[in-house]
Structure 1
């Protein structure tokens, strides 16, 4: 592939999509296999490019080894206050050129999303909670992949 071409992957239904140019001759990790800590702190933007927050945590489903959620920090100032939102991994697109994630929602929908604060996390393994969250974002549940 020519590095000037746009690389658009349609990820499995449980994974994040990847868009952007990539250099097939580059060495090292990414964008397909990356250390989770290199993604923490990345901006999350809406489809118009407006910043919604940053990736605070990447949550793994330990028994399956799948990435379940990105926890988005929204409205915090220097880590104080603000809300956290679990966003299904499959609802995100990694934009390699802008070095950010894009989620298909706007700020108002995010504000209305089920959120939590840093001291009161939901039980992310609760199937009812997880199902409603995936429905909210219109994302396929990661546990349904064959």
Structure 2
């Protein structure tokens, strides 16, 4: 899966991958990839935390695509570019209560929290 080149990657390949911090701390697995239906861009990635990670229980974290390193040296492992402290206070939701309705504000909060700009879509 991981390569030194920037090839497209399938959602099926990403879903279920183990996620670790840069310090090799096991965080969880990729649960899903959410696509913005207006732009076609990845809105965010849903990270299912391991039960014992930060004692956050049934929380899913929503992270921008840019917060991950897909080109590491381990197969089936994706690195998250955030430390434990950042993940502990990250925007997320409960397993039984996924975000619904307009997602623009939620996506904006996610991007901002991790320090990424939300792309502006210009309609002509």
Normalising by the smaller structure, the TM-score range is 0.7 to 0.9
- Aligned-pair distance for 1:48? 1.3
Asked if structure 2 preserves the Cα contact closer than 8 Å seen for 1:124 and 1:130, the reply is no
RMSD of the alignment, in Å?
2.4
Q: Offset of 1:85 from its aligned partner? A: 0.7
1:105 corresponds to 2:82: yes
**Residue 74 (str. 1) matches residue 49 (str. 2):** yes
Shift of residue 110, structure 1, vs aligned partner: 0.8
Gaps of at least 5 residues in structure 2 are: none
Given the two structures, how large is their TM-score scaled by the length of structure 2?
Answer: 0.77
| CA distance in 2 between partners of 1:46 and 1:123 (Å) | 29
Question: Helix, strand or coil: the match of 1:133?
Answer: helix
CA contact (8 A) 2:35 2:44 kept: yes
Offset, 1:145: 6.8
Unaligned stretches of 5+ in structure 1? 1-18, 23-30
Which digits, 9 at most, give the CA deviation of each residue in 1:71-101, with x for residues without a partner? 0001338xxx521011011221102421322
Q: 1:45 to 1:125 in 2, by over 3 A?
A: farther
Structure 1 residue aligned with 2:33: 58
Change (3 A) 1:98 1:135: same
How many correspondences in the alignment? 116
Matched, 1:49 2:24: yes
- How many angstroms apart in 2 are the aligned matches of 1:124 and 1:107? 29
| Aligned position for 1:4 | none
Matches within 5 A, 1:1-146: 20-21=3-4, 32-76=7-51, 82-99=58-75, 100-123=77-100, 125-141=102-118, 143-144=119-120
Of structures 1 and 2, the larger Rg is shown by 1
